Structure 1
Amino acid sequence: MNVVAPLLFTLLSLSAQPKAEQTQLTIYNQNFAVVRQLVSTDLQAGINTLTRTDVTRTLEPDSVVLRDPTGKRALRVLEQNFRPSALTPETLLERYEGKLLDFEVMEPGGRKRKVTGKVLRSGGAAQYSRYGQVISQAAQPVIEVEGKTRFGLPGVPLFPPLSGDDILKPTLSLVVESGQAGPVGLELAYLTSGMTWEAAYNLVAPETGDTVSLTGLVTVKNRSGKVFPNTQIQLMAGDVSKLRPAGIDEIISSDGDNTLIGGFGGMGGGAFMGPPPVTQKSFDEYHLYSLSRKTTLQDGETKQVEFVRSETIDSERVYVYSGAWIDPNRYRGWGYENIRSSREFGTQSNPKVWVMREFENTEKNHLGIPLPKGRVRFYRKDGEALQFVGENTIDHTPQGEKVRVYTGDAFDIVGERRQTNYADSSGKSTIDESFEIKVRNRKKEAVTVRVVEKLYRSWNWEIKEPSEKFAKKDSNTIEYTVTIPPDGEKVITYTAHYWW
C-alpha cells in the first residue's frame, strides 16, 4: 500500500487579539531552526519593554524579528538585549569560591544540621557550544569543612537571597516604540542552533524476490535548552546556505546517540489507518515537510515520526565489479603526465564485487515523493525473522529519480584483473595497454555483473579487440554487462589505445 500524503497543513491564523500564545518551528537538517512565537501583549503609545524568558539559549540575537503580522501596527525596535546564561547551582557556587558558605546536612533519623565550609573550588559549570553540545564537563567541587578538605559538597548549599539582576532562564529583552496603544498579537521570530532532524529509511525484502516494503522516519533532536509545548513542527529539506558565525567554537557532531528507536515498527502487512503523520510540499528551491498534528518537543529529546510508507516497491539487486584498485595515498595529486609515465598505475587488482540496490522513486513504482537525504537500512526476511543485509546513505532524491545504494560486497562472486600488455611509444605520444578480467560466480544460480573499466591515461582513447560488447558510459568509462552461469567464470579482454 502506498501512502503519499496530500498537503493538510495550513499556517496558523494570526489575529490581532489571539486567545493564546502559539509556537511554530521550522527545523533544517543543518543544525538550526526558525522559531516563530505569537506573543500576546498590551502596548502603550510610545516606549515599551518586552521581556521573554521562553527563548532558547542558542538563539542568534541578530536574527530576531518582531512584527505585527497583520501589518496594522507600526513598531520600531530601539534596543535589544539577550542574556543566554541562566543562573544554575554551579554558576552560583562559583560566586563563593574562597568564601564561607552554609550547607544543610541530612543525618540518620531524618535530622538536619547546618555546617559551614570554605569553597576552595566550585568545579565550574559545563561548557556548551553554540549548538548546545557539551564541550567540557564540570569538575568536582572542593570544600574545606572543619579543617579538612573534601571533594564534593558536604550537603545542600544554602545561598543568600538573589540579587535583582539574576536570571533563571535565557532572557530576551526588547525596547519597542509603538505608534498607538492597545492589545496586539505580535510575531517574534528568530534563528536558533541546537536543533536538527534527519531521515532514515527501513527497507524489507521477502525471502526471495526483490519487491521491497519501505518505511521512512524523521528523527528530530532538540538541544536548544528550551521545551516547545504543543508546537506545530515543519522540517525543511535541502541544502540551504547558512553562514557559520566567526570566532565561535562550534561542535557539530551529535551527542553520540545515533540509534533510531523502533526500527522495525509497523513493517508488516495491513492497511495504514488514520491521517498521514507528515505531509510535504515544494517551497522555494527546497521541500517542506509538516507534521500533521502538534506535539511537545522536550529539551534534550529525540522524537521520531513516520513520514512515508510503501509496501510494494520494485527494486533490483545489481552486482558491480570495478577491478582497478587505486591507492589514494600513493597517487594523490597525480595528473595525466604522471599517470602516463607510470606503467604500474591502475594495475593493482580489487577482488571485491559490490552489491547495489536500485529502485525508481516514481508513482508507478508506488513511491513518487521527494526523499530527503538520510540513512537507508536493508533487511531480508528469514522465515519469521528479519536479517540485516546492509546500509548506506542517500542524498536528497527528487520524485522521478533513481535511488542507488551500495549495501556491501558479494561473498560468492569474486573478481580478478591483470595487465597483460603495455607499450609506450613516447615519441609518437601513444600508449597501448591490455587487460584480462575474470569474474567467478560460486553461487548455485546465474548472476549478471556490470564490469566497469576506467580509462585513465588520456582523454583520447579507442578500444581494440574487445572480447565482449561494451557501453561507453562517459568520456573515460566503459561498462560490460555479463551473465555468469552457476559455479562458472567469465573472462573479458580488451586493449585500450591512447594518444595525446
Structure 2
Amino acid sequence: MISFIISVSLCLLSAEVKDTSLTIYNNNMASVNQVYADECKKGIFDTTIKNMPRTIIPDSINLNLPDYLNLKLESYKNENTDYIKQDVSILTKDNNIISGVLYKFDGETYTLRNEKGEYIVVLKDYIKYVNYGKFDEIDFRNRMTNNGVLNLLFDSKKAGSCEFQVTYILNNLSWLASYDAYVNNDETKLDINARIVLTNNSGYNFKNSKISLVAGEINRAANNNIAFRAMMNKALVDSSLEAESAPQEISAKSISEFYSYNLGFKEVTINDNETLSLDMFSRKGIKFKKVYVYKGQQDPWYFYDNLRNYRYDKNLTAQFIFENNKENSMEMPLPEGKIRVYKRNGDFISLIGEDNIKHSAPNSKIEITTGKAFNVSGTRKIIDHKKIRPNVYRDTIEIKIKNEKDENINVNIKEYLWGNWNIVESSHKYEKIDINNVEFNVEVAKKSTLTLKYTAEYDFNQ
C-alpha cells in the first residue's frame, strides 16, 4: 500500500469590508451584500471575516468571486465558543451588568459562574452587549453582540490585491412607513407628510451603507432560499446602480411582485439599537370624505327559534376616506405603516386619531379610522322575527342613527345577512358587497334621527 502525504502551507489572512449594500424588508429581515478586500496569495490560502452580525442566517451565506479565485471550503461558527472558561461581562437590555467566567454557551443561553460560585443563565434575547474580559463601557458601545466568524479557504491563480462579495440574510433589521396627516378646519382636505423609519437590532453597526427598501411580504420557504436569493441579488444590484442619484423624494420602483425604495442618500450609517427617520414625500390638499361607520350587530350567530335578548353596539366610528390617485397628486404605491391624524385646536395641534395603512397600490382607496364618534349614536333592533317554514326565517330590522352634531353627516351602515338571503323590503337603497354583506349609505341631517328599516328572509336549507 502506497500513501501520499501532501503538505500545504496556509497563509492566514483577515479580510476587511470595503463596501456594504442593504436591502431591508418590512418583515424584520434584510439581505446584505458586502465587498471585502484582501491580499490574495497564489495557491491555497485561508482568510477570516470576523464580527459577522449575530442575527445572520448561516445557510444564506453566498459568495461572488472573481474568475481567478475559487472557494475550496467555507466554515461559519459563533466565536463565543472560543471564550469558554474566560472572563465575560454581559450588559442586559435593562442595562444590568452580569460578570463571571463563561461556563457554557449553547447558541441560545450563556451560563456564567460568578465570584460567589453561583451559576447564572442568561438568555441570548435578553442580551444587549457581550464583552470578553474586564468590563469596558466604550467597548460595549462599539462592539457587536454574539459575533460570528466566517473562515474561507481559497485557491487563487494569482497573488496581489483582490476583492470578493459576501451576500447573506439576517434578522432584526426592518423598516416601516410613518405618515403624519393634518386636517383643515372644515375637514375636507389633508396634508400628508410621509417618513421612512429604519430600526436596527441586528447586533451590527452598518457604516456608510447603500440602502434599498422593499415593500411587500416576502415568502420565505423553510428549506429553500433559491428564489429569494435571486430576487435579493437583483435588488442589491439595482440599489448599487441608483445610489449615485439623490432625488428630492424617495420614489418607488417595481421589483418582481413588490416595490423598492432607494434612499436619496449615497450612503447611510445605522448602528445597532438605532432608529433612523428619513423624509419620504409630502402632499398637500388631498381631498377626502368623512364617513361614520355603524356596525350594530354584535352576536356572531343566528337565533333561529331561540330569539330572546340580543346585543347591539351603539357606537359609530369616524373614517377619513381618500383616493390614492392622480387627482389627489398621489397615484403611488403606499408602503405599510402607521398614520397619525392631527388637527389645529387654537394654539395647539392635537392628535385626533391613529390607524394602520396596509400596502396600498396606486389608484386604491385609503380608509383611516380615527376613533369613536362622540355626538353620533346608533340603535339596532329586531322588531319582527318569524319562522316562515322549516329552516326559513323572516326578520324586520330597525336601525336608528342619532346625530347631535351641528352639521349633516354621511353614515355607512354595514349589515351581515345569513344563509341564502333576500331583502324583500327596505326603506333605503343598499349595495351588496359580497355573499353575506350589504351596506346602506345614508345622510343624516344635523340635530336629527334617521330611521332605516328592512325585512330580510333567510333560507338555511341546503
Fold match by TM threshold 0.5? yes
The answer to whether residue 80 in structure 2 is matched with residue 80 in structure 1 is no
2:322 to 324, 344, 359: 359
CA distance in 2, matches of 1:121, 1:185: 49
| Alignment-derived partner of residue 128 in structure 1 | 124
1:343 to 300, 307, 310: 307
CA distance in 2, matches of 1:180, 1:472: 73
8 Å contact from structure 2 (residues 71, 155) kept in 1? yes
8 Å contact from structure 2 (residues 88, 101) kept in 1? no
1:231 to partner: Cα distance: 0.9
1:399 to partner: Cα distance: 1.1
The answer to whether residue 349 in structure 2 is matched with residue 386 in structure 1 is yes
Please give the residue correspondences for 1:66-465 in structure 2 after superposition, counting only pairs within 5 Å.
Answer: 66-68=63-65, 72-85=67-80, 89-90=88-89, 94-95=100-101, 119-121=115-117, 124=120, 126-129=122-125, 134=126, 170-243=148-221, 275-293=247-265, 294-326=267-299, 340=304, 342-343=306-307, 347-427=310-390, 429-456=391-418, 458=419, 460-465=420-425
CA distance in 2, matches of 1:300, 1:316: 40
Amino-acid identity (%): 26
With a CA cutoff of 8 Å and minimum separation of 6, indicate the structure with the bigger relative contact order.
Answer: 1
CA distance in 1, matches of 2:385, 2:443: 28
8 Å contact from structure 1 (residues 373, 397) kept in 2? yes
Worse overlay, 316-325 or 76-85: 76-85
CA distance in 2, matches of 1:302, 1:157: 26
1:419 to partner: Cα distance: 0.5
1:122 to partner: Cα distance: 6.7
Q: Runs in 1 of length 4+ with deviation above 6 angstroms?
A: 135-138
Deviations 1:290-327 (A, max 9, x none): 11211111111111111121112111111111211126
Letter in 1 for 2:88: P
CA distance in 2, matches of 1:179, 1:369: 50
Give the structure with the larger strand fraction. 2
Cα gap change, 1:177 to 1:308, in 2 (>3 Å): same
The number of residue pairs the alignment matches comes to: 390
Cα gap change, 1:226 to 1:137, in 2 (>3 Å): closer
8 Å contact from structure 1 (residues 415, 440) kept in 2? yes
8 Å contact from structure 2 (residues 291, 320) kept in 1? yes
Give the structure with the larger helix fraction. 2
Cα gap change, 1:96 to 1:373, in 2 (>3 Å): closer
Cα gap change, 1:188 to 1:341, in 2 (>3 Å): farther
1:386 to partner: Cα distance: 1.0
SS in 2 for 1:62: helix
Cα gap change, 1:237 to 1:157, in 2 (>3 Å): closer
8 Å contact from structure 2 (residues 74, 150) kept in 1? no
The answer to whether residue 40 in structure 2 is matched with residue 46 in structure 1 is no
2:433 to 473, 480, 485: 473
Letter in 2 for 1:300: N
CA distance in 1, matches of 2:339, 2:147: 40
| Alignment-derived partner of residue 111 in structure 1 | none
TM-score after normalising by structure 1: 0.72
Cα gap change, 1:78 to 1:344, in 2 (>3 Å): farther
CA distance in 1, matches of 2:147, 2:393: 72
Letter in 2 for 1:290: N
Letter in 2 for 1:89: V
CA distance in 1, matches of 2:298, 2:25: 38
| Alignment-derived partner of residue 249 in structure 1 | none
CA distance in 1, matches of 2:68, 2:222: 34
RMSD (Å) for aligned C-alpha atoms: 3.0
8 Å contact from structure 1 (residues 93, 122) kept in 2? no
CA distance in 2, matches of 1:127, 1:137: 12
1:478 to partner: Cα distance: 2.1
SS in 2 for 1:305: strand
1:368 to partner: Cα distance: 1.8
CA distance in 2, matches of 1:36, 1:231: 10
8 Å contact from structure 1 (residues 66, 186) kept in 2? yes
Worse overlay, 413-422 or 314-323: 314-323
1:127 to partner: Cα distance: 2.6
SS in 2 for 1:278: coil
8 Å contact from structure 2 (residues 88, 102) kept in 1? no
